[in-house]
Amino acid sequence: MFFEILINYILPIIYNSSISLILVLFILFIFRIKDSNIRILFLFLPLIKPFLIIIEKINLNEEFFKYRPGVLGIRLPSPNTIINRIDSFHKSPINFSNMNYLIMTLIISSIIFALIIRWLNLYLFYKNLSYEDKVERKDVPDIFNIIDKFIEKNSIKYPSISLTHKKFFSPFIIGIKNYTLVLSPNLLDKLSTGEKETLIHHELSHVKRKDNLISWIALILRDLLFFNPVAYIAYYLIRVEQEKASDKLVLIYSKKQPKEIAKNILNIILKIKSFHLDKLKIKNNIYQGASFLPLIKFNQILIKDRINSLIKTKPNKVHCHIIFKITMSSLFIILLLVQIILIAKIDNTFVFLR
């Protein structure tokens, strides 16, 4: 049964995500798409499209492949294959007499249960931080004054403020309808007035963009595809695009020069990083994980790309024209439906990658 799941689901899903991500990166490069909303939409493709495989029931015509080693082509998923799968689920209750079927059902149920526990723990962790030390305007008037400047230009709900005194230095927003901005006073003490303003406006830009909801959707899809390495890459790229998009909103609403905002963001990143390095420092002053240079180098490249992207941003060209958005959205739907198939025959077994 595991072999059947491997060739019918796991391999096709990884293949599907890989092809989708390659196509997405190619399209983003060819069309020079700068609008972060469109970029994030396309980056969701490797996370959404694999679920078409799960809901399809494919019946291969073995006679067609009898004298063929394999097939490469393009197809559209047939609604009949989805209806057949739904019917088979409806007409096939759990067979407790089949041990393989029962074991697989228990494994899948355990995985889903573990994921739900993980999501709840993650939510409760951030929720607890958001209730650690609630403050009012009289406690931190400078923070509220910075928020006032942003609220004046944006129609978003006023967030509550919480300070965390734990060793968690990265600021974040929690909430979908009612928002809480969580800040580390240790970090705030290290920031200049301009850096504080950039930091808080950046977090409020996530509220404006509804990034919390988008991030949770992406996280859930990624975790459901936990066996798929491409899903982690797509999720990470979505988070990177969200950070870039918030940087651009800060630039638009602050009316400051791109270089000034970029300098503030770089200083904030370096100061947060210094806290984390102090946290990881061991007795002989060597940082844990410092030997893993490829990861450090990769993070440096991403930070450099983020800063360069902000410096080159022209506020009047942050968002694309409506016609271009409609065109790209139509292209997204086409890519979602069209499958590049690769059918290979291994001994007497067909591997249907789509």
Among the listed residues 240, 276, 252, 83, the one whose alpha carbon sits nearest the alpha carbon of residue 153: 252
pLDDT at 88: 59
Residue 173 has φ and ψ, to the nearest 5°, of: -110, 135
The phi-psi region of residue 32 (left if phi > 0; otherwise alpha if psi is between -120 and 50; otherwise beta) is: left
Residue ranges per structural domain of the chain: 1-92+320-354
Q: What is the mean pLDDT of residues 9-28?
A: 93
How confident is residue 75, by pLDDT bands cut at 50, 70 and 90?
A: confident
Beta-bridged to residue 135, according to DSSP, are: 161
How confident is residue 292, by pLDDT bands cut at 50, 70 and 90?
A: very low
Percent of the chain with pLDDT over 90: 50
CB atoms within 10 A of CB 6: 12
pLDDT at 289: 40
Does the pTM surpass 0.85? The reply is yes
**319 or 27: whose pLDDT is higher?**
27
Residues 17, 336: Cα–Cα separation, whole Å: 11
The gap from C-alpha 68 to its chain's centroid, in whole angstroms, comes to: 40
CA distances from 107 to 120, 156, 172, 307 (A): 20, 43, 35, 45
Amino acid letter at 174? I
Could you write out the three-class secondary structure of the chain?
Answer: CHHHHHHHHHHHHHHHHHHHHHHHHHHHHHCCCCCHHHHHHHHCHHHHCHHHHHCCCCCCCCCCCCCCCEEEEEECCCHHHHHHHHHHHHHCCCCCCCHHHHHHHHHHHHHHHHHHHHHHHHHHHHHHHHCCCEECCCCCHHHHHHHHHHHHHCCCCCCEEEECCCCCCCCEEECCCCCEEEECHHHHCCCCHHHHHHHHHHHHHHHHHCHHHHHHHHHHHHHHCCCCHHHHHHHHHHHHHHHHHHHHHHHHHHCCCHHHHHHHHHHHHHHHHHHHHHHHECCCCCECCCCCHHHHHHHHHHHHHHHHHHHCCCHHHCCCCHHHHHHHHHHHHHHHHCEEEEEEEECCEEEEEC
Among the listed residues 207, 197, 192, the one whose alpha carbon sits nearest the alpha carbon of residue 270: 192
Q: What is the mean pLDDT of residues 305-330?
A: 85
The pair of structure tokens assigned to 269 is 């990143």
Among the listed residues 315, 302, 209, the one whose alpha carbon sits nearest the alpha carbon of residue 261: 315
How confident is residue 84, by pLDDT bands cut at 50, 70 and 90?
A: low
CB atoms within 10 A of CB 29: 9
pLDDT at 163: 94
CB atoms within 10 A of CB 94: 9
pLDDT of 107 strictly over 70: yes
**Is 336 in contact with 49 (CB distance < 8 Å)?**
yes
Give the least confident one: 28-37, 41-50, 65-74.
65-74
Q: What is the CA radius of gyration of the chain?
A: 24
pLDDT of 38 strictly over 70: yes
**72 or 145: whose pLDDT is higher?**
145
pLDDT in tens, 255-281: 889 999 999 999 999 898 887 666 655
pLDDT of 285 strictly over 60: no
Amino acid letter at 22? I
pLDDT at 220: 97
How confident is residue 286, by pLDDT bands cut at 50, 70 and 90?
A: very low
pLDDT at 102: 78
pLDDT in tens, 198-256: 999 999 999 999 999 999 999 999 999 999 999 999 999 999 999 999 999 999 888 88
How confident is residue 167, by pLDDT bands cut at 50, 70 and 90?
A: confident
pLDDT in tens, 179-192: 999 999 999 999 99
Q: What is the mean pLDDT of residues 192-200?
A: 95
pLDDT in tens, 121-148: 999 999 998 999 999 999 999 999 999 9
pLDDT of 63 strictly over 70: no
